[in-house]
Structure 1
Amino acid sequence: MAFAGKVVVLGGDFRHILPVIPMGSRQDIVQASINSSYLWDHCSVLNLTRNMRLASSDISEDNSEVNEFAKWLIQIGDGFAGDSTDGESEVLILDDMLINDTEDGFGELVHFVYPNIVSNLNHTDYFKERSILAPTLEVVNEVNNSIMSRLPGEQKVYLSSDSLCVEEGNMESELDTFSPDVLNAINCSGLPPHQICLKEGVPVMLLRNIDQSNGLCNGTRMQVHCLGNHVIECIILTGDQTGRVVLIPRMDMIPNNDTLPFRFRRRQFPLIVSFAMTINKAQGQTLGVVGLFLSKPVFTHGQLYVALSRVKSKKCLRVLIQNNGTMPKGSTINVVFREIFNNIF
């Protein structure tokens, strides 16, 4: 008997991003999902039909607009919002949400998400529910660096100390091959960069679980209050501990990345600048204002649905698409693995 006869409740939405399988194929990702398990035959599926995020909106919008937005999101998640080919839909973004891809299109997107950012750097509530979303970590870093360069104030640079993990299988010749410069150049998801550039007032995100009972969890958004040499003083922006002042120290972190042929240790502050975040990191969050920057199209199931559904109203969302002539203007690819829905309805 499954789960020893105990009642277990599994919550989730198959329209969201599926399990992340590094270098995995579409079939690998689908097979790793819970509804491909032998346990799925023992589950009873209960469907929730009301979008509670939109229902709790305090924005003055009539019910017809809210219902229209909710239905459009479902069509995005199901892959029926545009012309479909082999499970991928070409979606035309609504005109009232689209920022024209002009020379200053990115500046317009930043101004929509962070209006009057310089005068609001000392306001803790300003960054609480605002973010720019992008599909890849590379694009996120470019956005964060660009916004950081526009802000006044003295910038402080923190460098990491990287070293190869000495294990039984490592030969001395291999240890000499990977110099500190090679290790410093490594950037991967869940690991802070070798060089962190910060200014007082900028938003940051915590990349490790430090003290879950006090709100210091992986993904917690904070605002830099004071930059010290050995600790960084931050104010928590999200969760039950909002407004609490915390001290973040340097930590030893070993990335769990199968693509690396070796294991190394990085001692650095477990923080990353968070004007922008990846769509995957935004999953599960509710935001007040979102700018979606698609310099590259989404690349896996559910990313576009997750990005567009973080807000309570389409008035709180703007999208900047840079197709570089590869697709019709104002359109982008929505990736949906429709076979994931085969046995859940």
Structure 2
Amino acid sequence: MDAIQTETKQKIFFVDGPGGSGKTFLYNTLLARVRSEHRVALAVASSGIAAELLSGGRTAHSTFKIPIPILVTSTCNISKQSILAESIRTASIIIWDEAPMVHKHVIECVHRTFCDIMECNDPFGGKIVMLGGDFRQILPVIRHGRQADIVESNLKRSFLWQNIQTLPLTINMRVRTNNSFSDEAFEKFLLRIGNGTQQILDDGQSTIELPRYICIEPNNNGLQKLIDSVYSNLKTVDPDNSYLGRAILTTKNENVDKINTLVMDQFPATPSNTKIYLSADAVADEDQQGHYPTEFLNSLTPSGTPPHKLYLKKKAPIILLRNLNPTEGLLNGTRLCVLNLGTRIIEAKIQNYRG
């Protein structure tokens, strides 16, 4: 706020904090304060869900017209005479959440564009910019990249980093609010991994031993106990209140399909509330159809696509895999509750979870 209200030298900031430390709360508080003074504040994020959590937020690629693919010399497709350029000129602050997720060239591309719009060679054209995120989480994804390539692509390797002041958030407000010992212990365990202080087994593989309290039993009952712990009493509770903030994460698609089927089997089953949707798979090139039979295509489940047989029931939680309508909150990662199952249409309600 001092940088906004007075002419200070430091104008670029980075809010660094682990998940649950209150970064989004801080952003929205700043946005509300600045806008209450009739100033312009732009809020963007590197992902659709993060943008949805910001007041008036949009994705950075959509707002700043960032080109794809990104190159070391790229600039955004923003005309100096456009309304967007005028909004950038008049903005008192620009907040960018989840900045470590994007390649450093994306940040530098926006920097060059701002310099051109503002006709100033200072970082980001002299605008006050607050970046935020957590370097302990996922870094930019480099196709076929080595570990060194991924590290080299992150924001800290950019020439802009020397101009950024880091503002750390250290208290996990989510754990403090829940007041749970298991949550606190797990949060400290994750921080030790992220900070590189967790003990590593001397096996040449950088193996980390997981605490027993976060592991499921290595038998047939272990997975079922996990499901019962996360989704208890599926046949009796109200899904609008019971499933918010709950999820089971896994790294492989085959495990996703297996867990989804086990969870779905626990919902009440009647002919009117159960539906199986089949995908329509075909080869675009007619000359290649003989090489790829339909049965083979049906067996494939590429990342980011549902299985060939989509097994659903009413009141079940589902998640979107595409940005269907960002203005209405229908983004990749949005969670919904199934209301009705038609022949070709699924009616669902967005779960208003803002964790």
Q: Where on the TM-score scale, by shorter chain, does this alignment land: which range?
A: 0.5 to 0.7
- What is the RMSD computed on CA atoms of the aligned residues? 2.8
CA distance in 2: counterparts of 1:132 and 1:66, whole angstroms: 16
CA contact (8 A) 2:281 2:297 kept: yes
CA shift digits 1:149-206 (9 cap, x unpaired): 344314311112234456xxxxx53465344434333312222222211111211101
Identity between Structure 1 and Structure 2 (%): 36
Q: Which residue of 2 aligns with 1:201?
A: 315
CA contact (8 A) 1:201 1:223 kept: yes
Cα deviation, residue 42, structure 1:
3.4
In the alignment, which of 189, 198, 202 is matched to residue 303 of structure 2? 189
Higher relative contact order (CA 8 A, sep 6+): 1
CA contact (8 A) 2:239 2:316 kept: no
1:118-133 equivalences under 5 Å are: 118-120=235-237, 122-133=238-249
Q: Which residue of 1 aligns with 2:325?
A: 211
Determine helix, strand or coil for the equivalent of 1:198. Answer: strand
Name which one, 1 or 2, has greater alpha-carbon Rg: 2
Determine helix, strand or coil for the equivalent of 2:236. Answer: helix
CA contact (8 A) 1:82 1:92 kept: no
2:295 is aligned with 1:177: no
CA contact (8 A) 2:253 2:301 kept: no
CA distance in 2: counterparts of 1:76 and 1:230, whole angstroms: 45
CA change 1:87–1:11 in 2 (3 A) is farther
Determine helix, strand or coil for the equivalent of 1:162. Answer: coil
In the alignment, which of 91, 95, 101 is matched to residue 209 of structure 2? 91
Determine helix, strand or coil for the equivalent of 1:204. Answer: strand
Q: TM-score, normalised by structure 2?
A: 0.57
CA change 1:37–1:188 in 2 (3 A) is farther
Determine helix, strand or coil for the equivalent of 1:9. Answer: strand
CA change 1:195–1:80 in 2 (3 A) is same
Cα deviation, residue 127, structure 1:
1.2
1:147-166 equivalences under 5 Å are: 147-153=263-269, 154=271, 155-165=274-284
Opposite residue 280 of structure 2, the aligned amino acid is S
Q: Which residue of 1 aligns with 2:262?
A: 146
CA contact (8 A) 2:257 2:307 kept: no
Spell out structure 1 runs of 4+ moving beyond 6 A: none
2:236 is aligned with 1:236: no
CA distance in 2: counterparts of 1:140 and 1:176, whole angstroms: 31
Opposite residue 335 of structure 2, the aligned amino acid is R
CA contact (8 A) 1:81 1:89 kept: no
Q: TM-score, normalised by structure 1?
A: 0.58
Q: Which residue of 2 aligns with 1:8?
A: 129
Is the helix fraction higher in 1 or 2?
A: 2
CA change 1:96–1:159 in 2 (3 A) is closer
2:167 is aligned with 1:46: yes
Opposite residue 197 of structure 2, the aligned amino acid is F
